Structure 1
Amino acid sequence: MMGLRTLVAISLVTLGLAAHADTPDVDDDSDLPAWAEKRIGPFHAGLSRWVESTSRSIDGFFGTTDALTVDTDSYLRLSQEWDWGEGEPFNQDLGARFRLDLPTTEERLRVIIESEPDETRGTLSERESALNDDRTNSLGDLLVGLNRLGNKDKTRHWNTRVGAGIKLRLPLEPYVRLTSQRLWTLEDGPWQLHSDNRLSWFSGDGYSARTRWDLGRPIDEKRHLRFITNVQWREEVDHLEFSQVVELNHRLNRRSVLRTSGGVVGESGSRPVIEDSYLEVRFRRDIHKGFTFLDIAPSLHFPRDADRDPRWALTLRLEMYFRRHIDRVSL
């Protein structure tokens, strides 16, 4: 009962923060005290320069002198996450995820070095129970490969990308990956449908396939409604997994957003089975200059393995991005 009271209190604090954040934009771009800004600023600038210079140095070695000026999608993300679930032990995770993008190696052919490939990030149930499907973890899986980029406008044609390379572990594991994307605007109206699909083969894990369909529309200038369907199959699990989520995103101001969502996660063998259903409120705040973010996400789950009895959960996450050009990260 103590855990329930704690969760409810934190949920009320989350809603209170959201209400407080629902104010007009101001010039201030940080919630940190002056002493923390002075320490974080030089550290962030130095590490961001290192990420960019490292990617450009490698790119210049393999590619051309354009590596000094061309845009690059390289980044490093560090995060600290705390998870609590009713009836489960408290967990915390210090994670890192990075990507070195080498764009000039050959026209439309890029060398990619990245950690934590999507194919190794667990079942849909594990991913949907996290704060979102972009959780970080250790650097145990590292890919080095070549991507052949598609050059078609995905609003008019399917945009396809082919990649291949190796996973750096002993013994080395080759992989092949095919992805395709398409975006439709329905009847010139507010609804948009986005399709993102991937077929992969890793020598150590076998085949995997997933498809994601995202149907959404703005309700007004600050609110956006989305219906997201995921279907995934992995050879090592050898059953079909699916999830259906509906979410309402409310941009409170320039630096804060509130996401209210509900969803189901299931498996399909001979008969579809719902493994979990949940409700979640997620508050995300840009707490420092577009590269440091805080997430607070209380949720209520109804898992099958607990006979659908309600289980409270809470995720807190602090993350920092390092790259040359800092944009407002999608909230």
Structure 2
Amino acid sequence: MRTSYLAATLAIFAGLAQAQHDDDTDLPRWAVDKMTPMHDAVSHWVSNTSRNIDGFFGTDDSLHVENGSYLRLSQELEWNDTENFSAESAVRFRLDLPTTKERLRLIIESDPEESQGTLAEQGSNRLRTDQRGTGSTVIGLSRLGRGDKTREWDVGVGAGVKFRLPLDPYARITGERLWQLDESPWQLASYNRASWFNEDGYSVRSKWDLGRPLDEHRHLRFVTNVQWQETVDTLEYSEAVELNQILGRRSVIRYAVVAVGQSASDPRLHDYYLLSHYRRNLHRELLFLDVIPELHFPREQDYEPQWGLTLRLEVLFRGDLVVRR
């Protein structure tokens, strides 16, 4: 029954993706007419709320500057060999107040990277939305870096609280750098963050991304992640080779081969996996579809292959609203 339901859902989404009613939507006209007023109303609410709060604490420039606030609603269907079929709904939001003080921003976000679990959980989508919950929401001040990442390290600091009882204070520092390797097409990007939460303790994560375009539609990346969390108390690392391809104006796909390991004293790999991630802009950068098949070879299962499939439908409401009819 569950497999049949998943197959039917795939067929419906495939039909949507193949529809060509006009250049920027796959939806029939009646669906556009139903969706547009609701989406515009919620987007206006996100924009007005964030700009009004920003104007109260900041300046009148809040009405004109770029605002990165958003509200994202998603419905996710997941199937895998071990847990069969599951369905989850999720709400993600971010409140950005850019003029509150020069280079200082008040940030409210419901899904900070510190709450996203181990590298294995991040890579295989095993950390479910109900495990994160509203207790992962943080509110705080972030001081943006002033540097040009191509010339020097761009360093930002932030502090605030995780919104739960009792309140959980945090502090973090982030550093980013981008190098162009001589005259070659290769670029090396580095992202690093050290965090402290009163409840969870310290964590450190580092990402090194070496990539180059192969042509105007394909991009090759070699991505290294290293992470340590006090709650896990082991060093984790992952290596990935990714090929990103633009399929059309509204479709992209990523192919990846990933190895995940842990422990510095006795390093060993505990998961290999292959995945492809297809993303389709179904309707004017407002409605998106993700299809993510995966094949895992986990060490804890003696490297027996385990299949997984994730379907995600996502609606995005932005603070910077451009009304699309």
1:138 deviation in Å? 3.1
Q: Distance in 2 between matches of 1:219 and 1:144?
A: 40
Give CA-to-partner distance per residue, 1:212-236, whole Å, 9 cap, x none. Answer: 0111100001001011111100001
Distance 1:325 1:102, change over 3 A: closer
1:188 deviation in Å? 2.1
Instruction: Look up the equivalent residue of 2:184 and give its one-letter code.
Output: G
Instruction: Look up the equivalent residue of 2:91 and give its one-letter code.
Output: A
The alignment partner of 1:162 has SS state of strand
2:170 to 157, 172, 175: 175
Instruction: Look up the equivalent residue of 1:271 and give its one-letter code.
Output: D
- Are positions 1:129 and 2:145 aligned together? no
Where do residues 1-331 of structure 1 align in structure 2 (5 Å cutoff)? 28-130=23-125, 138-325=133-320
Distance 1:134 1:182, change over 3 A: farther
Q: 276-285 or 176-185: which moved more?
A: 276-285
Instruction: Look up the equivalent residue of 1:253 and give its one-letter code.
Output: G
Distance 1:29 1:134, change over 3 A: farther
Give CA-to-partner distance per residue, 1:125-172, whole Å, 9 cap, x none. Answer: 000002999999533322111111111100000000000111121111
Give CA-to-partner distance per residue, 1:223-271, whole Å, 9 cap, x none. Answer: 0101111110000110011111111111011101121111111111421
Check the 8 A contact 2:43/2:321 in 1, yes or no: no
Aligned length, in residue pairs: 318
Give CA-to-partner distance per residue, 1:174-206, whole Å, 9 cap, x none. Answer: 110100100001112111110000000000110
Instruction: Look up the equivalent residue of 2:236 and give its one-letter code.
Output: E
Q: 292-301 or 318-327: which moved more?
A: 318-327
Q: Distance in 2 between matches of 1:247 and 1:64?
A: 43
1:274 deviation in Å? 1.1
Q: Distance in 1 between matches of 2:219 and 2:35?
A: 33
Aligned-CA RMSD value: 2.8
Instruction: Look up the equivalent residue of 1:65 and give its one-letter code.
Output: D
The alignment partner of 2:114 has SS state of helix
Instruction: Look up the equivalent residue of 1:153 and give its one-letter code.
Output: D
Q: Distance in 2 between matches of 1:26 and 1:184?
A: 43
Where structure 1 has 5 or more consecutive residues not aligned to the other structure, the ranges are none
1:63 deviation in Å? 1.1
Distance 1:196 1:271, change over 3 A: same
Q: Distance in 2 between matches of 1:180 and 1:116?
A: 20
Instruction: Look up the equivalent residue of 2:84 and give its one-letter code.
Output: P
Distance 1:133 1:148, change over 3 A: farther
1:47 deviation in Å? 0.6
Check the 8 A contact 1:212/1:230 in 2, yes or no: yes
1:26 deviation in Å? 9.8
Instruction: Look up the equivalent residue of 1:245 and give its one-letter code.
Output: A
Q: TM-score, normalised by structure 2?
A: 0.90
Q: Distance in 2 between matches of 1:196 and 1:87?
A: 34
Percent of pairs identical after alignment? 55
Q: TM-score, normalised by structure 1?
A: 0.89
